[in-house]
Structure 1
Amino acid sequence: MSEEIIAAKKPAVHGWTPRALYIHIPFCTNKCFYCDFNSYVVEGQPVDAYLDALEREMELTVKALPPETIRKVFVGGGTPTVLNPVQMKRFLDSVARHFQVAADAEFTMEANPGTTDLEKLTAMREGGVNRISFGAQSFDNELLKAIGRIHEADDVIRSIENARKAGFSNLSIDLMFGLPRQTLKHLADSVTTALQLDLPHYSLYSLKVEENTLFHRLYERGELPLPEEELEVEMYQHLRDRLGAAGYTQYEISNFAKPGHESRHNSTYWHNEPYYGLGAGAHGYALGTRHMNIKGVQAYIDAAAAGLPRKDANEVSVREAMEDFMMVGLRLLDGVREADFKRQFDGAELEAVFGAELAKLSGQGLLERFGEGDSAGWRLTERGIPLGNEVFGAFLA
């Protein structure tokens, strides 16, 4: 399709008011060795002033773009559960004041094991949170220590018990693979313990060595003993086999769930839909524009006092939105549907835009076409699932 035709195909999502809300709490108990998220050790930080600034951004945001009913809320970090019970209540009350959150909305908060006692969990529950995602990473204490985590395996188990006592049933944990000196037995043992918790959702991520982390410095010096690529592939397949055998559906490259417990908020990203993004370093996407907020805590506080705390904002071109649609949508095991592409891009035909890429990836056995009519679309093959990044990158101009 020519650039002139693409330019005429305005994405329908550009006109949508977001129904999803992401809020960033940038504080944590410590900085893990692999972490490049916008996070800061909480000790000595102006947490209450940050919450003031966050509420100020909420006020300005709803004035600039009045929200409809919010269906999905995700509070990430950092570790949002480093807030004490009083701060937690104050924060959640401010969300309720500025956004109308549906009674049946999914309201997720990230948590680190050991940071959620019953008092705090009760404040979360009363404030509307109904889903918790715990960063377990591993159930091997030596591995946890080696990646800079300060919790131990028993802390995860106790945290899950506390959450259930407080009335939470929609719980998820993250596990990591491809860690330094991690063996397949390490991973298999962790999966066994994780499955004994009988949770409705599991997220399973391979280690990525990111810049500006301790692990990156060690990697540059040749001092980070990572598993060989073949072993990492074997680890990923082990995870898929074990979770599948236990009755979990792999609905996305890194996510497994029992029916009805798929992450609804993350589906916003995977379907390339708009969302509000609030807090230091947060990203948002609305009315065809992506923005990123100022990252530093004090810099964010100062900026919010003067207006919306934006670092930058960029209009998303139609071509870029199309590329995003394919790259994030193909992360889902159900793939992307041609009818959804046509709906988002004013009648544009998927194969008219990306025919060459689809033909090449199909020829390599990485993508397959499925369905007929409105149900037709494209998805990763079994061979393509572990090579997802190679597939996604093929849609970048």
Structure 2
Amino acid sequence: MGVLSIVVGTVLALLTAWDAFESAVMPRSVISFFRFTRYFHKLFWWLWVALSRLCDNRGRELILGMYGPLATLLLIPIWALGLVLGIALVQWGLDALTFTKGTPSFPMELLNTASCFVTLGLQRQDASLGTRTLAVVTAGIGLGFLALIISYMPTLYQAFSRRESGILLLDSRAGSPPCGAELIRRHAEIDQIGEENVGLEGEGVGLEALCTFLQEAERWCAELLESHLSYPTLLAYRSQHDRVSWLSTITALLDATALLKVGLDARTPAQRRLAWRAYCCYAMARHAVVDINYIKVDSLIKADSLPRHLLPDRLPDAQQEALAQLLEGSGVDIGNPERWAALRRLRQEYEPYVQRLAETLLLELPPWLPPPDAHDNWESGMQDQAEHFYRVQPFRQGEGKPKSQP
């Protein structure tokens, strides 16, 4: 019995330590069927989604926004419990092989191990040399685990902060929710104001600004890929702002760069630079969404997602004319049937991936055409902010003070 306890405890402690190492230390995505984190996320996400479906839209979004931080905090005691339980089994097995008159009870061994893990160091007076040595090792593991958690949380939230800054940059450039066609239209609109907006080389300021922005967006996509592969829990961290998310941002970038790749006539030097930037940004963004889909065993991605032929069409043929009118004067022409067919083929390279992510994470994808009554988040006033931050009904004159929503 003692030998079995030692073997089981050693395996449990090693698996828990390896799981924590892979999740918090190793700077790459690890696919393993023996990770506790994998099964924890799948079970906890299923329960959390079921709970959110009992609420209305506002309550559902609030509950889903709590999942990421809560899951991160719950993983810490789970790892600690696995380490303490494994070491306690080893200690109990050693005592069973050492003591001849009687073995201490397992609850007492568990308490002693936990006290050593948190560096209290409670031990029996008759403890053997092996027991005291294991207590010192346990205390060292506890200190190392504490240092790991202290460094893990700031790293996670720094990656989240960098991701949010890239999301906010699209607010004034592409609207809320972000729209790829609107991103192109707004930058082209700058060059239609007057001759004073012409740059030193005779090219439009809007064209150069869009080229610079796509360069920054490419770097943001690369950071997104690196951080979410290293810390898959970030997939469940939702944006702090309404109508935007990391998925809607990267989808809007894919839509915009796909339009530029298909409809831009690269005749001038500035247009050729823009075409190159669009190609690089598209490649990086698609690389990100494809690789994030492949880490399904470490994240929340379901294996039974809808097949490609059943996914909804984000841009039906009936919207071709409206999209072409929106892009009129921007230098991007998709009115040609051949270019429209090329855009449809290009969309098949990334839309199935973002749609499956949206289906699993319960996020909304941005539209191809901006809603007619939509306004940017930066244009919101006190009423909108009160509704967003304090969850109160917008105040209207003559209705008295706003009331809190249940």
TM-score greater than 0.5 by the shorter chain: no
Which structure has more helix as a fraction of its residues?
Answer: 2
Shorter-chain TM band: under 0.3
User: Based on CA coordinates, which of the two structures has the bigger radius of gyration?
Assistant: 2
TM-score, scaled to structure 2: 0.24
The normalised TM-score by structure 1 is 0.24
